[in-house]
């Protein structure tokens, strides 16, 4: 099922477009990685798709079957996020606010859902711990759990492993891969092109020479070859599953 289609989309601020002529679609169960040079407009595109800012021009439309409360978002990790004065469990539970309507409280079933997601990510034992005292990898898992509370079908992530050590990054990619295998649609911005071509099945390259298509096609395209210049990835790169 097609979940999103963008036609001749331009994104930016006001009338100033940073990225233009974007044409791509997304189907249920896709793993789409958005790549491009710094300043190409990757984060701006993601915020536009999430409805956090208006497109400059063009069209974008989600399927009528996709509701706002079925979309989760893990933004870039900012320094201020590390100092949230709350427990890990409270932060995860806050991801359900979009589903509570005007209720000033969480139902027992909603609290159980937050606990289930934390256990799924192997962070159930962190529920009562202060978020600010957690390691960087633990904090990112908590924020991922929060995004999953808000998501039912699509998960958007902006540089989810930035600032993590190699082991924590590997664990994060493994968790994302498991979510994808369970049917979640993944949309991820990554500056790490090696990981993008390892885990994603579709690539959207934003820049002067744009590209949208399957990973294997990207590796063999002129755009992919230029962007992967001097990187140890070949046109014959086989598929990989997340570890």
**Residue ranges of E strands in the chain:** 2-13, 16-27, 31-36, 57-62, 71-74, 154-158, 185-189, 202-206, 211-214
Q: Are residues 54 and 14 both part of a single domain?
A: yes
In this predicted structure, the answer to whether residue 233 has a pLDDT above a threshold of 70 is: no
Tokens of 210: 């744009």
Tokens of 106: 């969480």
Q: Tell me, what's the pLDDT at 81? A: 59
Q: Tell me, what's the pLDDT at 236? A: 56
Lowest mean pLDDT among 34-43, 93-102, 200-209: 93-102
Q: Are residues 61 and 100 both part of a single domain?
A: no
User: Is residue 8 assigned to a domain?
Assistant: yes
Q: Tell me, what's the pLDDT at 104? A: 75
Q: Tell me, what's the pLDDT at 51? A: 93
Which tops the pLDDT comparison, 185 or 165? 185
235 pLDDT tier (thresholds 50, 70, 90): low
In this predicted structure, the answer to whether residue 241 has a pLDDT above a threshold of 50 is: no
Q: How far apart are CA 22 and CA 7, in angstroms?
A: 6
In this predicted structure, the answer to whether residue 231 has a pLDDT above a threshold of 80 is: no
Q: Are residues 159 and 242 both part of a single domain?
A: yes
Tokens of 77: 């990790």
In this predicted structure, the answer to whether residue 80 has a pLDDT above a threshold of 70 is: no
- Count structural domains, the chain: 2
User: Is residue 55 assigned to a domain?
Assistant: yes
Residue with tokens 């996020």: 81
CATH of the domain at 205: 3.40.50.300
SS3 22: strand
User: Is residue 46 assigned to a domain?
Assistant: yes
Q: Are residues 28 and 139 both part of a single domain?
A: no
Q: How far apart are CA 187 and CA 74, in angstroms?
A: 10
Quick one: average pLDDT of 52-56? Answer: 94
Q: Tell me, what's the pLDDT at 31? A: 97
Q: Are residues 101 and 221 both part of a single domain?
A: no
Of 195, 191, 193, 227, the C-alpha closest to 209 is 227
Which tops the pLDDT comparison, 193 or 2? 2
Q: Could you give the percent of the chain with pLDDT greater than 70?
A: 91
Q: Tell me, what's the pLDDT at 230? A: 44
pTM for the structure as a whole: 0.86
**109: domain range?**
82-152
What CA–CA distances, in Å, run from 111 to 131, 178, 228? 18, 23, 45
Q: Could you give the percent of the chain with pLDDT greater than 90?
A: 61
Domain boundary among 129, 152, 175: 152
- Using one digit for the tens of pLDDT, what is the confidence trace for 36-48? 888 899 999 999 9
Q: Tell me, what's the pLDDT at 225? A: 86
**What are the b/e assignments for 65-91, b being 16+ CB within 10 Å?**
ebeebbbbbbbebeeebeebeebbbbb
Which tops the pLDDT comparison, 126 or 104? 126
Tokens of 93: 């539970």
Domain boundary among 99, 118, 152: 152
User: Is residue 232 assigned to a domain?
Assistant: yes
């Amino acid at each position: 099922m097609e979940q999103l289609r963008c036609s001749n989309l331009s994104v930016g601020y006001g009338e100033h477009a940073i990225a233009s002529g974007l044409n791509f679609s997304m189907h249920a169960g896709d793993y789409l990685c958005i790549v491009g040079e710094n300043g190409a407009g990757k984060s701006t595109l993601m915020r536009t798709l999430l409805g956090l800012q208006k497109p400059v021009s063009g069209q974008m439309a989600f399927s009528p079957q996709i509701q706002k409360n079925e979309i989760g978002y893990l933004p870039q990790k900012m320094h201020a996020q590390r100092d949230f004065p709350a427990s890990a469990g409270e932060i995860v539970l806050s991801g359900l606010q979009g589903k509570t309507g005007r209720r000033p409280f969480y139902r027992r079933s909603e609290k159980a859902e937050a606990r289930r997601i934390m256990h799924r990510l192997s962070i159930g034992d962190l529920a009562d711990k202060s978020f600010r005292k957690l390691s960087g990898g633990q904090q990112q898992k908590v924020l991922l759990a929060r995004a999953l509370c808000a998501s039912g079908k699509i998960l958007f992530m902006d540089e989810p492993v930035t600032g993590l050590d190699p082991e924590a990054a590997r664990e994060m990619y493994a968790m994302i891969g498991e979510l994808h295998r369970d049917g979640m649609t993944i949309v991820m911005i990554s500056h790490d092109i090696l990981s993008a071509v390892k885990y994603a099945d579709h690539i959207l390259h934003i820049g002067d020479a744009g590209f949208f298509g399957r990973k294997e096609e990207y590796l063999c395209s002129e755009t992919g070859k230029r962007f992967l210049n001097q990187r140890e990835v070949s046109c014959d790169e086989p598929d990989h599953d997340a570890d």
